[in-house]
Amino acid sequence: MAITSANQLELLQTAEAVAREKMIDPGLVVAAMEESLARAAKSRYGSEMDIRVKIDRKTGRATFTRVRTVVADDELENYQAEMTVDQARQYMANPEIGDVYVEEVPPVEMGRIAAQSAKQVILQKVREAERDRQYEEFKDRAGTIINGLVKREEYGNVIVDVGAGEAILRRNEKIGRESYRPNDRIRCYVKDVRREPRGPQIFLSRTAPEFMAELFKMEVPEIYDGIIEIKAVARDPGSRAKIAVISYDNSIDPVGACVGMRGSRVQAVVNELQGEKIDIIPWNEDQPTFLVNALQPAEVSKVVLDEEAGKIEVVVPEEQLSLAIGRRGQNVRLASQLTGLDIDIMTEAEESARRQKEFESRTKLFMETLDLDEFFAQLLVSEGFTNLEEVAYVEQDELLVIDGVDEGTAEELQARARDYLEAQAKAALENARALGVEDSLVNFEGLTPQMVEALAKDGVKTLEDFATCADWELAGGWTTVDGQRVKDDGILEPFDVSLEEAQDMVMTARVMLGWVDPEDLTADEGDVEDAADEEEAGA
């Protein structure tokens, strides 16, 4: 194909037709054509040459030019696209490094291979432009529901026509038993919109908890208006779900509003989700109360919350155990997702057995360490004493309320407890020193000899070692691995050192060593307080 006057206007007409079809800027198509013609010209004149093509946007005339750049003598590498200052003088009056010399060259005859190559370049550029337009159009629609038509299914993934492009519903984002045929209508949640080198860049989901929340927003006007808020959603896609709602208007029942007249609103959502059963639960700021609601329809006898560990123990009657756990653990798993807590479910009999075991172990502790008979040790445990420290340092009045304990007995009990604790502390300190602990760590305020011994066994033997520890290494914590909460044991966790206490001790050590300026710490605390005051004022 030769670029002649006969087909000059045809170039522009083709560009406009392609641009209209793909809904992109005609200038992008013309630019792609210019690049493809330049590539064809390079194959004719030589790939080393810098050949450029410019198509007139009005007449369609293509101008082929050869560009050469003036470079220093020692930088001349490509003789076809560069020239020295001396060489440039025959073409230019006063050439300088960086100047370019442009000369027009004859149009090329495009052979079959060159034409095919040009076509590929144009198609690639058009696809890139189309993808950019699609990204710009859909990037703000992430987090919304979209309707589309099924185009085809590839390896279990559904390709969906969303009007101005294609989106993909991956196999793991489909509700289990769903199957689709071409031209089926489908409603999905836009989970993500991102730039991808090839393939669809709009990622859909029907299993995301947010999909259910958006469906309720469409069916329940009170949620759309902000009167009712969805606080949490947990789903076992296609089987069962729990959704927690709260009303900011005392006259509106959040659960009733979501259910609708004769269940019409919730039924519309259930139908869209292929019959997925939905439990609508009232949200409560009090976590134990919220958990009792979340475990419905099971009845709960007692709840014990461990906020620091993010765990909660639930006691249920024997006959309610299977209902609370649910089929394959579904009910308790969804309740755990909804509340963000690890839930341990036990029967009343199991809880009673555990309490009995704790009672026996504490009784044995007091019998062995304080040289008491079983009855007297049981009295101490029954009054709520759990360890020797409580006995040794509690106000004497709290011991006098125990039947048969007078002032002399109370003094003797506390003296025995203190003697035992002091002997333990002395032995721990000797062990720590034997392990090579330095005085800088032994004398650090807030660390008991037993804590120093535990640190030494873990290789922390100096104040510098202690100052490099992270707070969670000392106090322990929880991390999420593959969706499962995993416990990280802390060195000082057996001594009930909280995360905040560990953080304070580590920062104090760093200040003592001169690693941190105490004024910086004060400034940071002031900033936090100011931010809290502003937030409270805004509220």
Under the banding of pLDDT at 50, 70 and 90, the label for residue 130 is confident
Strand 62-70 versus strand 157-161 pairing type: unpaired
Residues 157 and 131: beta-carbon distance below 8 Å:
no
Residues 464 and 454: beta-carbon distance below 8 Å:
no
Residues 46 and 68: beta-carbon distance below 8 Å:
no
Residues 18 and 36: their CA atoms lie apart, in Å, by 15
Q: Is the pLDDT of residue 1 over 60?
A: no
Residues 344 and 350: beta-carbon distance below 8 Å:
no
Q: What pLDDT, on a 0 to 100 scale, did the predictor assign at position 5? A: 40
Q: Is the pLDDT of residue 307 over 70?
A: no
Under the banding of pLDDT at 50, 70 and 90, the label for residue 282 is very high
Q: Is the pLDDT of residue 2 over 50?
A: no
Q: Is the pLDDT of residue 7 over 60?
A: no
Q: What pLDDT, on a 0 to 100 scale, did the predictor assign at position 20? A: 72
Q: What pLDDT, on a 0 to 100 scale, did the predictor assign at position 243? A: 92
Residues 187 and 145: beta-carbon distance below 8 Å:
yes
Residues 64 and 37: their CA atoms lie apart, in Å, by 9
What is the average pLDDT value for the chain, to the nearest integer? 80
Under the banding of pLDDT at 50, 70 and 90, the label for residue 539 is very low
Express each pLDDT in 18-77 by its tens digit. 677 666 677 777 777 777 777 777 777 777 788 888 877 777 777 888 888 888 877 787
Give the mean model confidence (pLDDT) for residues 334-355.
82
Q: What pLDDT, on a 0 to 100 scale, did the predictor assign at position 535? A: 44
Residues 72 and 97: beta-carbon distance below 8 Å:
yes
In 84-227, beta strands by DSSP E: 100-104, 145-154, 157-161, 166-169, 185-193, 202-205
- CB-count exposure of residue 452 (10 Å: 0-12, 13-18, 19+): buried
Q: What pLDDT, on a 0 to 100 scale, did the predictor assign at position 228? A: 92
Under the banding of pLDDT at 50, 70 and 90, the label for residue 346 is confident
Q: What pLDDT, on a 0 to 100 scale, did the predictor assign at position 349? A: 83
Give the mean model confidence (pLDDT) for residues 315-321.
83
In 226-364, beta strands by DSSP E: 228-236, 240-247, 277-282, 302-306, 311-316, 342-347
Q: Is the pLDDT of residue 447 over 50?
A: yes
351 vs 217 pLDDT, higher one:
217
Q: Is the pLDDT of residue 13 over 60?
A: yes
Express each pLDDT in 469-502 by its tens digit. 988 888 887 776 666 667 788 888 888 888 888 8
Residues 511 and 505: their CA atoms lie apart, in Å, by 10
% residues pLDDT > 90 (the chain): 10
Residues 412 and 257: their CA atoms lie apart, in Å, by 65
47 vs 381 pLDDT, higher one:
381
Q: What pLDDT, on a 0 to 100 scale, did the predictor assign at position 6? A: 40
DSSP structural state of residue 297:
T
Express each pLDDT in 233-264 by its tens digit. 998 888 888 999 999 988 899 999 999 888 89
Q: What pLDDT, on a 0 to 100 scale, did the predictor assign at position 532? A: 42
Express each pLDDT in 190-203 by its tens digit. 988 887 766 567 88
Q: What pLDDT, on a 0 to 100 scale, did the predictor assign at position 23? A: 67
Give the mean model confidence (pLDDT) for residues 376-389.
82
The pair of structure tokens assigned to 45 is 């004149």
Residues 169 and 205: beta-carbon distance below 8 Å:
yes
Q: What pLDDT, on a 0 to 100 scale, did the predictor assign at position 116? A: 63
DSSP structural state of residue 143:
T
Q: Which backbone phi and psi does 355 adopt, to 5 degrees?
A: -65, -40
Q: Integer distance in angstroms from the first to the last C-alpha of the chain?
A: 72
Q: What pLDDT, on a 0 to 100 scale, did the predictor assign at position 483? A: 61
The pair of structure tokens assigned to 253 is 């029942």
Q: Mind spelling out the 3-state secondary structure of 14-73?
A: HHHHHHHHHCCCHHHHHHHHHHHHHHHHHHHHCCCCEEEEEECCCCCCEEEEEEEEECCH
Q: Is the pLDDT of residue 137 over 80?
A: no
Q: Centre a 10 Å sphere on the Cβ of residue 167 and count the other Cβ atoms it contains.
A: 25
